[in-house]
Amino acid sequence: MPNDAASPSLDNALGHHAPGAGQREFGTGFGKGGETHQQVPAKGKHGDGTAHLTDNFGHRIADNQNSLRAGARGPTLLEDFVLREKIFHFDHERIPERIVHARGTGAHGVFECMKAIPELTTASIFQKAGATCPVFVRFSTVAGGAGSVDTPRDVRGFAVKLYTESGNWDLVGNNIPVFFIQDAIKFPDLVHSVKMEADRGYPQAASAHDTFWDFIGLMPESLHMIMWAMSDRAIPRSYRMIEGFGVHSFRFVNAKGEGRFVKFHWKPVLGLESTTWDEAVKIAGADPDFHRRDLFEAIAAGDFPQWELGIQVFDEAWAAKQPYDVLDATKLVPEEEIPVQVVGRMTLNRNVDNFFAETEQVAFLPSNVVPGIDFTNDPLLQGRLFSYLDTQKSRLGTTNFHQIPVNAPKCPFHNFQRDGMMQTLVPTGRANYEPNSLAQAGEPGGPRECPATGFTSFRANDERNDGGEKLRVRAELFADHYSQARLFYRSQTASEQAHIASALVFELSKVQIEHIRKRVLSRLRNIDEDLAARVAKGLAMDLPEAAEAAREPVEMRPSAALSIQKNAKHTMKGRKVGILFAEGSDLAAIEKLKAEITEAGGTPFLVAPKVGGLAVKGGMLKADGQLAGSPSVLFDAVASILMPDQAAKLAKDGAAIQWFMDAYAHCKTIAHCRGTQVILDKAHVERDDGVVPIESFARVGTKRHWDREPKVRDLA
């Protein structure tokens, strides 16, 4: 069987362990004399000595890779007790912190429909241009706990709750349009692998360790996501500068009952922006709350972040012609093939009043859709529809979590559900069932179903579904694990490709088990030979043979939309500029520079050796931050206005030298006065298009100067 094939053998992974590895016998009670009765969690052994995989009740599992569904592309079946038990256990493993997406920050805002699309969907929010509804958005990291930092290399959650007049619509996605796995049955395994290793409890909020890359090497379907995770998308500059994606293919359904596939995109008005890896690491030390602080302060200052909601809409006929399956969450639909059309705009305009009551208690459910939006048979989505609802009981302690204000709909809601822990409503009436005939005081006996306006599931058959057999299989096109990974890599600029290769070298250098590194390298050869060679060289390893692909990759046209650098907006809006001054600096020059930055939409931030106020030419001036506590990694560009004597003094200060050295190494603009040259020389800053006199700062702005990068660091 090919190495890539989804099968219980998984490249004979179990063969890497000693018999019974990972299965420690445990006591269940005491018999006569106090001896311990032993119970073996997995009963029975394979011929090679490895234990049989079972559920928690000892039933042997024949297939732990695929959920049970009706046909290769059909919906997942509720009778799949293996899937349900596995996710049920996973959902309740930790209390009360979220298992994933634990570290997050949220804000309130408003969504406005910019383009009515009644021909596509009956969803109320899209029926009239200008229609609005409140929203709550939670951004998050995925792997780390609530006490981790904001800037690790990680996926970012991008979850939006729209309080529409037809009920809550939760668009629960990420800042990356694809995911690691194709089937929800593998989600517990994925998260267990990336979380802290079970025997030692570290590393926290990091994927650079053995268990994660062991899993990735055995799951080639993850390779497309790995390209994104190793790219600059995983180290964003700000939550305000990330895209959001619904990940899955959903359905739009119109008034005629006609359905079409739809993918959702959030496009940041400020444009995409990332950090460098060295910068992200240093920011974590300088300000662990960098992203949540950035969002909070921007909203507090009235600089409200905005995203445009875009959609890709296509039908079954178009989907059937593609070399990938649109129900596969590890694949994207290139924007060059189906352009993204903008239909709305979201503005975040209010910070939360209480972090716990709102940001921590908000509960997002992919199952929260409104009439006109429906699900598809995506096997990852199908599992999420069960998992998210189930996990709220553990996190929030009650089935009445929907009554918490941040979760409650803004429109009226009525049903016959009663009681339960922490019931805060006071339902009236005698009847708590339906139908009933117990009208009281002339009022009907409670709410009734409404076939005309209620939610009805899309009924048309998927013409590519092969009947209703119950199968643990994946559709044929799901076996292509490399084509879109290759598409992503080859769509990047040269420096972005170098960042991906360097990220892989960093991650795999942390992997201690050699066969894991070799396996990943063998997978990389199916993506791009140059990438694999660069990573192997960075690891000082020979390239192994390429892994056999279950399905040969196909060449896809590069997509410029997948690159951050190709889509960068060279703007000052939303950016922060650090201005270094000291005693004797020219106040007029500082005020002029601040005015230029502010007028262009940026935020000036004054940095000085002391914050209490310094005598400058023209008066007294207080700094916003002290030099050692305000390193340049916190800013998008830096500037300095110093008198020669103070510059000479700062040239002996390691914090000042590092301030400019980091800005230069991170390819940022450095605008300086002549007096600063003595510090620049000690920091080994060479003049280029981004190292300019202070008078030229407004012209150059805050863009990154990637041409500088080969001079300041070795990249793979």
Q: Point out the least confidently predicted range of 94-103, 105-114, 480-489.
A: 94-103
User: Can you give the pLDDT at residue 5?
Assistant: 41
| Backbone torsions φ then ψ of 689, nearest 5 degrees | -65, -15
Q: Which two tokens stand for residue 122?
A: 């009956």
Q: Which two tokens stand for residue 634?
A: 């916190």
Buried b (16+ CB within 10 A) or exposed e, 196-206: beeeeeebebb
92 is catalytic: no
Pick from 671, 575, 579: nearest CA to 625: 579
User: Can you give the pLDDT at residue 17?
Assistant: 35
184 has a pLDDT exceeding 60? yes
User: Can you give the pLDDT at residue 439?
Assistant: 66
User: Can you give the pLDDT at residue 41?
Assistant: 43
Buried b (16+ CB within 10 A) or exposed e, 368-394: bbbbbbbbbbbbbbbbbbbbbbebbee
User: Can you give the pLDDT at residue 39?
Assistant: 40
User: Can you give the pLDDT at residue 63?
Assistant: 86
| Backbone torsions φ then ψ of 348, nearest 5 degrees | -95, 115
Mean pLDDT in residue range 603-618 = 96
Of 174, 351, 368, 407, the catalytic one is 174
Mean pLDDT in residue range 174-190 = 97
Mean pLDDT in residue range 544-558 = 96
| pLDDT level of residue 221 (50, 70, 90 thresholds) | very high
What's the topology of domain 81-403?
Answer: Catalase HpII,  Chain A, domain 1 (2.40.180)
Which residues sit opposite 169 in a β-bridge?
162
Per residue in 231-282, pLDDT (tens digit) is 999 999 999 999 999 999 999 999 999 999 999 999 999 999 999 999 999 9
The secondary structure element, H or E, covering residue 379 is: helix 379-396
Per residue in 618-636, pLDDT (tens digit) is 999 999 999 999 999 999 9
Location of structure tokens 């009663």 = 418
20 has a pLDDT exceeding 60? no
Write out the DSSP string of 30-65: E-GGGPEEEE-SS-SB-TTSPBPPB-TTSPBPS-SS
**Cα–Cα distances in Å, from 82 out to 8, 136, 221?**
14, 34, 21
Name residue 376's amino acid: T
Per residue in 657-681, pLDDT (tens digit) is 999 999 999 999 999 999 999 999 9
User: Can you give the pLDDT at residue 688?
Assistant: 96
The DSSP bridge pattern shows strands 373-374 and 470-471 to be unpaired
Q: Which two tokens stand for residue 187?
A: 């989600």
* Residue 217, CB-side half-sphere exposure with 13 Å CA sphere: 24
12 is catalytic: no
Q: Point out the least confidently predicted range of 25-29, 504-508, 625-629, 633-637.
A: 25-29
Q: Point out the least confidently predicted range of 177-181, 401-405, 452-456, 709-713.
A: 452-456
Measured N-to-C along each axis, helices 379-396 and 187-194 cross at an angle, to the nearest 10 degrees, of 60
DSSP label of 644: H
Whole-angstrom distance, CA of residue 154 vs CA of residue 142: 7
Domain boundaries, the chain: 1-63, 81-403, 479-565, 572-712
The overall average pLDDT reported for the chain is 89
pTM: 0.86
CATH superfamily, region 479-565: Catalase, four-helical domain (1.20.1370.20)
Q: Please list, in sequence order, all residues whose beta carbon lies within 8 angstroms of the beta carbon of residue 72, skipping any fewer than 6 positions away.
A: 465, 466, 471, 473, 474, 475, 476
User: Can you give the pLDDT at residue 42?
Assistant: 43
User: Can you give the pLDDT at residue 123?
Assistant: 95
Sheet holding 603-608, edge to edge: 625-626, 603-608, 576-581, 637-641, 669-672, 691-693
| Backbone torsions φ then ψ of 304, nearest 5 degrees | -70, 120
Per residue in 304-338, pLDDT (tens digit) is 999 999 999 999 999 999 999 999 999 999 999 99
Residues in the chain: 716
154 has a pLDDT exceeding 70? yes
| pLDDT level of residue 25 (50, 70, 90 thresholds) | very low
456 has a pLDDT exceeding 80? no
User: Can you give the pLDDT at residue 262?
Assistant: 98
Whole-angstrom distance, CA of residue 90 vs CA of residue 193: 13
55 has a pLDDT exceeding 80? no
User: Can you give the pLDDT at residue 44?
Assistant: 67
Mean pLDDT in residue range 376-383 = 95
| pLDDT level of residue 463 (50, 70, 90 thresholds) | very low
Contact 138, 336 (CB under 8 A): no
Of 3, 101, 108, 368, the catalytic one is 101
User: Can you give the pLDDT at residue 465?
Assistant: 52
Which residues sit opposite 639 in a β-bridge?
579, 671
Name residue 500's amino acid: I
Percentage above 70 pLDDT, the chain: 90
User: Can you give the pLDDT at residue 526?
Assistant: 98
| Backbone torsions φ then ψ of 650, nearest 5 degrees | -70, -25
133 has a pLDDT exceeding 70? yes
Dihedral over alpha carbons 140, 507, 485, 102 (to 10 degrees): -20
| Backbone torsions φ then ψ of 385, nearest 5 degrees | -60, -30
User: Can you give the pLDDT at residue 453?
Assistant: 79
Q: Where are the beta strands (DSSP E) in 270-399?
A: 306-314, 341-351, 373-374
404 has a pLDDT exceeding 60? yes
Whole-angstrom distance, CA of residue 556 vs CA of residue 491: 10
Write out the DSSP string of 526-572: TT-HHHHHHHHHHHT-PPPPPPPPSS--------GGG-SGGG-----
21 has a pLDDT exceeding 50? no
Alpha helices for 136-289 (secondary structure H): 187-194, 210-218, 223-229, 277-286
**Cα–Cα distances in Å, from 130 out to 310, 597, 642?**
16, 33, 51
Largest separation between any pair of C-alpha atoms in the chain? 91
User: Can you give the pLDDT at residue 29?
Assistant: 34
DSSP label of 674: G
Burial class (CB in 10 A: 0-12, 13-18, 19+), 194: buried
Measured N-to-C along each axis, helices 277-286 and 290-300 cross at an angle, to the nearest 10 degrees, of 80
Burial class (CB in 10 A: 0-12, 13-18, 19+), 467: exposed
Mean pLDDT in residue range 540-550 = 97
Whether CATH 3.30.460.10 fits 572-712: no
Mean pLDDT in residue range 295-305 = 98
The DSSP bridge pattern shows strands 603-608 and 576-581 to be parallel
Contact 315, 261 (CB under 8 A): yes
